[in-house]
Amino acid sequence: METNLNELKELFHLKDQDIRSYSPLTLAYIGDGVYELVIRTILVKKGNCPVNRLHKKASSLVKAAAQSGIMEVIEEKLTPEELSVYRRGRNAHSPTMAKHATMADYRRATGFEALIGYLYLKEEYTRMIALIRMGIREEDI
């Protein structure tokens, strides 16, 4: 992710916002897309394979239960600021719920996505990728 958000800001005339004021569901919205893109990038960079296989593997890694599992691994490694963002996301009341997920998994996954969105918008890509890497086992990718 060498392109930074400053280029987007310039090209689209975006103003700086205080991301601490963003709702946790807004952070989760962007975090969901960023996390899926990271996972897809990892899978594609591992080598060419049928799209159906890529989709199955990506789906297994981005589903709520998998994201919840990542949080179980990384939660104790979060900074106080990151933990606060995660908790805000986890405690946010979403009008929808993921299919095939428990409420607990869905809430932890929403917190995880909020954290990823927060780190992405802060342009803390190295930390974001490090946390994702801590939470994903080598045999799962």
For residue 3, the model assigns a pLDDT of 59
18 carries an active-site annotation:
no
DSSP string, 79-129: -HHHHHHHHHHHH---S---TT--HHHHHHHHHHHHHHHHHHHTT-HHHHH
Predicted local distance difference test score (pLDDT) of residue 40: 95
The domains of the chain are located at 20-140
Check 16, 32, 105, 140 and give the catalytic one: 32
Predicted confidence at residue 99, as pLDDT, reads 74
20-140 maps to CATH 1.10.1520.10: yes
pLDDT for position 1: 45
Q: Single out the residue of 2, 6, 40 nearest to residue 121, CA to CA.
A: 6
Query: What pLDDT does residue 124 have?
Result: 94
Question: Could you list the mean pLDDT of each consecutive 10-residue stretch along the chain, which spans 141 residues?
Answer: 72 87 95 97 91 93 94 96 96 78 92 97 95 88 80
64: which 2 tokens?
């709520």
